[in-house]
């Protein structure tokens, strides 16, 4: 059995389920039973890390883990149990909007001034808090467009063409130096962070793991293609104003030119993407498959629910003067990439 040496190191376990999955990936243990998963906290560290481990096998994998584990049938059964636990909680906790039109309209409503994470970082955020935010978000931004790309084979016509156009921008329009994941790595360098893929997995809280797991969940299941489009819409429509505030935060704290550029780039690009997603991705999808409108709405609502949980974690910690991370960043501003 060949081992994959190219991915990040396996993280430390956060409970019995993630410990069992980690041991199995190392080839030294048994997987948990489905009933163990069913009784665990859906949004907790143990379930979210275990699910993240399963999903990461479809991205870059982990150092020392055999590539064959990606499609191991026993591990896929455990992943299915984890997904069921997560998805059931999301459906129960996001009764949400009655219509897609209402969900889309709410995305255009800015939060009350000063109540969101980007407002806080723009107005009061310190450099250490910007570093924590970037470290946690790196789990998403260093794979930014990848989970969304999985939906392309499941779309056709106008929706496929529009989705591919937006993804082309995310991948730099054919220029490797403009790939958004590369631009985020440059931002991390300005902030003195290690740009190694997966470097901050151990430090990341369960709330941010859940936001990344949501994309993989929606992207890997054809039956959830509508929810993936809803998630994509939520990200793109809300990105431009939030990115403007984060660019201002980077300038105010003198974080560096690459840190400013990443968010300045998203202000302009995502303002265009918003219109394409609303009119052509969603419009094209529902012209072909109108029955998916409730799934698109669910994708929007689930995204908002998890982002609100993550924001609550960050703001509660920062307003109390505490780190939001499970393991705080080193005090120095060095990086090792």
Q: What is the CATH number of the domain that holds 151?
A: 1.20.910.10
Question: Sorting pLDDT into bands at 50, 70 and 90, what band is 111?
Answer: low
Reported as a pLDDT band with limits 50, 70 and 90, residue 144 is: confident
Q: In the chain, pLDDT over 70 holds for what percent of residues?
A: 94
4 lies in some domain: no
**Is residue 254 domain-shared with residue 116, that is, in the same domain?**
yes
Claim to verify: residue 87 and residue 109 sit in the same structural domain: no
234 and 171 co-located in one domain: yes
Report in angstroms the alpha-carbon separations of 278 from 29, 100, 193, 221. 47, 11, 35, 22
**Is 11 within a domain?**
no
88 in the same domain as 107: no
With respect to residue 330, please indicate whether it lies within any of the assigned structural domains.
Answer: no
Examine the pLDDT at 150 and tell me if it is beyond 90: yes
- The domain total for the chain is 2
Quickly state the pLDDT bin for 113 (edges 50, 70, 90): low
Judgement on whether residues 144 and 185 belong to the same structural domain of the protein: yes
The mean pLDDT value of the chain amounts to: 92
- The verdict on 175 and 296 lying in the same domain is yes
Residue 215 placed within a domain: yes
Give pLDDT tens digits for 46-90. 999 999 999 999 999 999 999 999 999 999 999 999 999 999 999
pLDDT at 309 exceeding the cut of 70: yes
Cα–Cα dist 307/90, whole Å: 12
CA 24 to chain centre: 25
3 in any annotated domain: no
Looking at 74, 93, 112, the residue that finishes a domain is 93
**Domain region containing 62:** 16-93
93, 125, 151: which is the final residue of a domain? 93
What contacts 279, CB < 8 A, 6 or more positions away?
Answer: none
Do both 72 and 123 map to the same domain? no
């Amino acid at each position: 059995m060949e081992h994959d040496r190219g991915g990040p190191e396996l993280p430390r376990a956060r409970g019995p389920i993630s410990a069992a999955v980690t041991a199995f990936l190392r080839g030294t243990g048994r997987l948990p039973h489905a009933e163990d998963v069913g009784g665990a906290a859906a949004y907790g560290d143990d379930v979210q890390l275990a699910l993240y481990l399963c999903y990461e096998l479809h991205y870059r994998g982990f150092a020392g883990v055999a590539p064959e584990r990606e499609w191991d049938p026993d591990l896929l059964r455990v992943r299915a149990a984890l997904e069921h636990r997560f998805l059931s909680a999301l459906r129960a906790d996001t009764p949400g909007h009655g219509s897609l039109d209402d969900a889309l309209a709410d995305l255009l409503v800015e939060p009350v001034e000063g109540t969101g994470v980007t407002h806080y970082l723009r107005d009061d955020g310190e450099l250490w808090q910007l570093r924590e935010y970037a470290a946690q978000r790196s789990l998403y931004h260093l794979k930014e467009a990848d989970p969304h790309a999985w939906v392309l084979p499941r779309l056709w016509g106008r929706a496929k063409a529009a989705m591919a156009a937006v993804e082309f921008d995310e991948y730099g329009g054919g220029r490797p130096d403009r790939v958004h994941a590369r631009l985020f790595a440059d931002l991390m360098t300005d902030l003195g962070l290690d740009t190694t893929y997966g470097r901050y997995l151990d430090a990341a809280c369960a709330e941010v793991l859940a936001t990344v797991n949501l994309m993989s969940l929606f992207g890997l299941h054809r039956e959830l293609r509508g929810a993936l489009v809803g998630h994509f819409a939520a990200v793109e429509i809300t990105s431009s104003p939030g990115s403007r505030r984060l660019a201002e935060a980077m300038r105010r704290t003198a974080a560096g030119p690459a840190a400013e550029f990443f968010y300045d780039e998203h202000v302009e690009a995502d303002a265009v993407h918003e219109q394409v997603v609303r009119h052509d991705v969603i419009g094209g999808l529902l012209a072909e498959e109108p029955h998916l409108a409730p799934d698109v709405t669910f994708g929007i609502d689930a995204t908002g629910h998890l982002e609100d949980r993550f924001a609550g974690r960050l703001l509660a910690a920062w307003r109390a003067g505490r780190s939001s991370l499970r393991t705080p960043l080193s005090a120095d501003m060095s990086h090792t990439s």
